[in-house]
C-alpha cells in the first residue's frame, strides 16, 4: 500500500499523460473507503493538505457506467469560486454533464434532462422551466402550507421522533400533487406509497452495493433497465404512464394547473410536443429530484434552527406578520452550512486550463459547494449557523452554490426555497419543538445526499391552533 504524500500523484496521470492536480496517493479502493466513511471530512482533509484544487481517485467507474472510462474515477475538486465560475460559464461543448449523471438512468430514464447535453438539454429546459417559476410557482405556496399543516397534526406530543421521514412525507406529497394534480386521497396515497417504496429500496445500502458491483450490467449507454431495476421502477412507470394517458384524454386540459397538464400542452420551438416516453422520463426526474433533496434540506433547517438562540421565535414573529426575510435567511444559511448535494460533477469534452493546470478532455470536475461555503474569506466563522448573514444581503452567484450553476442550475431552486419557507413557517408557528438530544447531529452520507445522522430528532412539547393569514406573503426569489 502506498502512503499519502504531497506532489503530483502518479495515479493522477491522465490518459494523455498530463498530471492532474495533486491528491492522495492511496489506492482507489482505500480512498473510496475513506470517502464512504465520511465524504465531507475527507474533502476537508484533502483541501487542508492540497489546497483549492485536488484530485481524488475513487472507485466510481462501475457506478457511473462505461462513459466514465475516460475519467477513470478521478475527480478534480474545485474550491475556488473563480475556478467554479470558469467551469459554470464555459462553452457547453467543453464542459458537459450528461455522462456524469448516467448512473441515474435506471431511475429517471435515458431521455431525462439530467442525462442530456446541449443542444437537446437547452430544448428540454425551455419546456420544463416555466411551470416552476413566477406566477405559476406562487400557486403552490398554499398547497405546501396545507400539506405541512396536515402532517403536523399527526406528530406525537412529548415523545422523541425523527423529523426527516416526516419531511419526506411532506415533500413527496407536495411534489406528487404539484406534478400530477392528484387530490383524491386514495389515489394520492397509492401513488406516494409506490414512489416511497421504490425510493427506499433504491437508496438502501444493499441496493447501492449491488449497483456498485453490477452497474455495468444494470444499464448500458442507452440506460436500458436491468431486471432488478425494472421490478422496482415498473409499477411506478405504469402509474406515471396512466396519468399521462388520463391527461391527454382530458377535455378541459387548459384549466388544470398541475405540471403534467402544462407539459402535455407545451411545444418545442419546432412545434412538436413531448412523446409519452420523454414525458415519463421528465416526470420521474421531477418526482425524484424534487422530493428527497428538499426533505433533507428541511431536516437540516430544523436541526440547526432549533439550536439557534431566538431563531425559532424570530421566524415565528415574522411569519405572524406575513414577512419572509428571516425564513429566507434561514433557508439560505442552512443550504450554505449543510448543502445536501455537496458538489456537482462535470466532464470535459475538450481540454481546459483551470488555475494554471492544463486538464485533458475526459477529466471529471467537481465544483464543490461544500468547500466553498466553508471559506473563511467568504463567510466569517464559517462553521457557525448564522442566518443573520443573509438578512438584507443576497446570496452570491459564485459563492453560494447549493443548487449548482450555469446552464445546469437546479430547475427547482425557487420551488424548493418556497417550500422550505412555507414548511418552516407552518411548523414553527404551530408547534413548540426542541431537539431530542443536546449534541448536534453530524452529517451522514446517504445515496447522493448528506443528511443529519439521527434524522433530526425532536420532541414536540405543544401544538397550537392555526391562525389565519391576513394576506399573501411576500418573498424573495432565490
Chain residues binding ligand HEM by CB under 6 A are 97, 113-114, 125, 175, 285-286, 289-290, 293-294, 297, 340-341, 344, 402-405, 408-412, 415-416
- Shortest reach from residue 26's CB to ligand HEM, in Å: 28
Task: Give the nearer residue to ligand HEM in terms of CB position, either 11 or 285.
Answer: 285
- Shortest reach from residue 418's CB to ligand HEM, in Å: 9
Quick one: CA dihedral 44, 50, 51, 54, positive or negative? negative
Nearest by Cα to 195 from 177, 176, 167, 178: 176
Task: Give the nearer residue to ligand HEM in terms of CB position, either 412 or 435.
Answer: 412
**Alpha-carbon distance 122 to 198, whole Å?**
29
Task: Give the nearer residue to ligand HEM in terms of CB position, either 187 or 409.
Answer: 409
| Cβ-contact 12, 39 below 8 angstroms | no
Give me the sheet containing 95-96, strands edge to edge.
53-57, 74-78, 364-367, 346-348, 95-96
Name the grid cell of 191: 401513488
Task: Give the nearer residue to ligand HEM in terms of CB position, either 11 or 294.
Answer: 294
Task: Give the nearer residue to ligand HEM in terms of CB position, either 26 or 428.
Answer: 428
Task: Give the nearer residue to ligand HEM in terms of CB position, either 202 or 340.
Answer: 340
- Shortest reach from residue 403's CB to ligand HEM, in Å: 5
284 SS3 class: helix
DSSP β-ladder status, 74-78 and 364-367: parallel
Is residue 463 exposed (0-12), middle (13-18) or buried (19+ Cβ within 10 Å)? middle
Task: Give the nearer residue to ligand HEM in terms of CB position, either 25 or 408.
Answer: 408
**Alpha-carbon distance 35 to 110, whole Å?**
28
| Cβ-contact 375, 43 below 8 angstroms | no
Nearest by Cα to 128 from 312, 282, 358, 348: 282
Nearest by Cα to 21 from 101, 79, 100: 79
Task: Give the nearer residue to ligand HEM in terms of CB position, either 229 or 365.
Answer: 365
- Shortest reach from residue 395's CB to ligand HEM, in Å: 13
- Shortest reach from residue 187's CB to ligand HEM, in Å: 20
Residue 371: C-alpha distances to residues 24, 74, 377, 379, 439 (Å): 17, 18, 12, 11, 24
The stretches of 306-368 forming alpha helices (DSSP H) are 311-320, 325-337
- Shortest reach from residue 414's CB to ligand HEM, in Å: 9
Which strand (E) or helix (H) includes residue 187? helix 185-202
- Shortest reach from residue 115's CB to ligand HEM, in Å: 9
- Shortest reach from residue 259's CB to ligand HEM, in Å: 8
Task: Give the nearer residue to ligand HEM in terms of CB position, either 55 or 294.
Answer: 294
Amino acid at each position: 500500500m502506498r502512503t499519502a504524500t504531497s506532489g503530483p500523484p502518479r495515479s493522477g496521470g491522465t490518459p494523455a499523460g498530463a498530471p492532474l492536480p495533486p491528491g492522495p496517493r492511496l489506492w482507489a479502493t482505500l480512498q473510496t473507503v475513506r470517502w464512504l466513511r465520511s465524504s465531507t471530512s475527507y474533502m476537508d482533509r484533502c483541501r487542508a493538505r492540497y489546497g483549492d484544487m485536488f484530485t481524488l481517485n475513487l472507485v466510481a467507474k462501475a457506478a457511473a457506467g462505461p462513459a466514465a472510462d475516460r475519467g477513470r474515477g478521478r475527480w478534480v475538486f474545485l474550491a475556488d469560486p473563480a475556478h467554479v465560475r470558469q467551469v459554470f460559464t464555459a462553452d457547453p461543448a467543453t464542459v458537459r454533464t450528461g455522462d456524469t449523471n448516467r448512473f441515474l438512468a435506471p431511475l429517471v430514464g435515458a431521455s431525462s434532462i439530467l442525462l442530456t447535453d446541449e443542444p437537446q438539454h437547452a430544448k428540454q429546459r425551455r419546456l420544463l422551466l416555466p411551470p416552476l417559476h413566477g406566477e405559476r410557482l406562487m400557486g403552490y405556496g398554499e398547497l405546501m402550507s396545507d400539506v405541512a399543516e396536515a402532517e403536523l397534526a399527526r406528530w406525537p406530543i412529548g415523545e422523541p421522533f425523527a423529523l426527516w421521514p416526516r419531511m419526506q412525507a411532506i415533500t413527496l406529497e407536495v411534489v406528487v400533487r404539484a406534478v400530477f394534480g392528484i387530490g383524491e386521497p386514495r389515489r394520492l396515497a397509492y401513488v406516494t406509497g409506490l414512489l416511497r417504496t421504490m425510493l427506499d429500496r433504491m437508496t438502501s445500502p444493499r441496493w447501492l452495493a449491488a449497483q456498485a458491483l453490477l452497474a455495468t450490467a444494470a444499464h448500458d449507454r442507452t440506460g436500458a433497465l436491468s431486471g432488478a431495476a425494472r421490478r422496482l421502477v415498473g409499477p411506478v412507470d405504469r402509474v406515471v404512464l396512466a396519468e399521462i394517458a388520463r391527461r391527454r384524454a382530458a377535455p378541459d386540459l387548459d384549466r388544470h394547473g398541475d405540471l403534467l397538464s402544462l407539459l402535455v400542452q407545451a411545444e418545442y420551438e419546432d412545434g412538436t410536443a413531448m412523446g409519452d416516453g420523454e414525458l415519463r422520463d421528465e416526470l420521474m426526474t421531477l418526482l425524484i429530484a424534487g422530493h428527497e433533496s428538499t426533505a433533507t434540506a428541511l431536516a437540516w433547517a430544523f436541526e440547526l434552527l432549533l439550536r439557534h438562540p431566538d431563531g425559532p421565535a424570530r421566524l415565528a414573529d415574522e411569519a405572524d406578520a406575513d414577512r419572509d426575510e428571516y425564513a429566507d435567511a434561514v433557508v439560505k444559511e442552512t443550504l450554505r452550512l449543510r448543502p445536501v448535494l455537496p458538489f456537482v460533477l462535470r466532464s470535459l469534452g475538450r481540454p481546459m486550463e483551470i488555475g494554471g493546470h492544463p486538464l485533458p478532455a475526459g477529466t471529471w470536475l467537481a465544483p464543490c459547494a461544500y468547500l466553498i461555503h466553508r471559506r473563511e474569506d467568504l463567510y466569517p466563522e464559517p462553521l457557525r449557523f448564522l442566518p443573520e448573514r443573509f438578512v438584507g444581503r443576497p446570496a452570491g452567484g459564485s459563492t453560494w452554490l447549493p443548487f449548482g450553476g450555469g446552464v445546469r442550475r437546479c430547475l427547482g431552486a425557487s420551488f424548493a426555497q418556497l417550500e422550505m419557507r412555507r414548511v418552516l413557517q407552518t411548523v414553527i408557528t404551530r408547534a413548540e419543538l426542541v431537539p431530542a438530544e443536546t449534541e448536534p447531529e453530524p452529517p451522514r452520507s446517504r445515496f447522493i445526499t448528506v443528511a443529519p445522522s439521527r434524522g433530526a430528532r425532536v420532541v414536540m412539547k405543544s401544538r397550537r391552533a392555526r391562525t389565519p393569514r391576513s394576506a399573501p406573503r411576500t418573498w424573495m426569489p432565490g
